[in-house]
Amino acid sequence: MTAFAAVLSRDLRLTLRHGADTLAALLFFVLTAALFPLAIGPAPETLGRMAPGIVWVCALLAALLPLDRLFGADFEDGSLDQLLLSGLSPAAIALAKAIAHWLVTGLPLLIAAAPLALMLRMPDVAMLALLAGLLPGTMLLSLLGTAGAALVLGARRGGVLLPLLVLPLAAPVLIFGVAAADAASGDLSPRPHVLLLAALLAAALPLCPLAAGAALRSAVE
């Protein structure tokens, strides 16, 4: 447990030092979402209807941005060897990385989503459903992204490969997340969609770190 906390705090400290990298994902999210009203036009009914989709797609892409450095820097400077020799199982290391990714990317995206939804004229009921979906959704993206980042580690075109690998896996997250917000704005219950996201999270929580751990082991060989 001490080792797990040590890995997590080390990662958080490193991300804070590289503040610009961390802010980049958030800025990307806000800026791309802010472009949509300019492109589509400011009519409230069109924007409001498209808002859940806009927020979700932008959040998904923003969460992908910091992924190639998630293990990449540690892999290149030899720190990954030291992490694997810390006595933690590789799966635990991957889980710590996923939690760190969520804390510095997923959580800020979740917080920024509310004012963004407001800006896009999303109805109030839909906004609550959107945030309820984003909470397990961003966690899922962190877990899937960690597994993807570990898998492409050491590959020559890792940065290109990563979205190709993660985006198909993230498609269900996108579908159920947007469906939850759409259901709420159509006076239906968003509950089944949010529950499905929670079920996906329950499956990904053990599986993604295990897959990422196995990938880390083979990456250092």
Partner 1 sequence: MLQASGLAAFRGERLVFRDLDFALEAGGALLLTGPNGAGKSTLLRLLGGLLRPAAGTLTWDGADALADLPAHAQRVAYVGHQDAVKPALTAAENLGFAARLTGGAVHDALEAVGLEELADLPARMLSAGQRRRLALARLVLSRAPLWLLDEPTLGLDAASVQRFGSMLEAHRAAGGLTIAATHLPLPVAEAEELALLSTPPPLAGGGWGEGAAGPLPPPLNPLPHGAGE
Secondary structure letter of residue 41 according to DSSP: -
What one-character-per-residue DSSP string does 57-68 give?
HHHHHHHHGGGG
Judged by CB under 8 A, does residue 124 bind partner 1? no
| Collapsed DSSP state (helix, strand, coil) of residue 1 | coil
Give the integer Cα–Cα distance in Å for 33 and 133.
18
Judged by CB under 8 A, does residue 161 bind partner 1? no
Which of residues 78 and 186 has its CB atom nearest to partner 1 in the complex? Answer: 78
Site string for partner 1, 59-98 (x = CB under 8 A): ------------------xxx-xx-xxxxxx---------
Total chain residues near partner 1 (CB under 8 A) = 24
Judged by CB under 8 A, does residue 17 bind partner 1? yes
Judged by CB under 8 A, does residue 157 bind partner 1? no
Judged by CB under 8 A, does residue 3 bind partner 1? yes
Which of residues 93 and 165 has its CB atom nearest to partner 1 in the complex? Answer: 93
Q: Virtual CA dihedral for 130, 18, 208, 86, nearest 10 degrees?
A: -150
Residue of 6, 57, 103, 201 that binds partner 1 (CB under 8 A): 6
The answer to whether the CB of 55 falls within 8 A of the CB of 130 is yes
Per the structure block, which two tokens stand in for 135? 């909470």
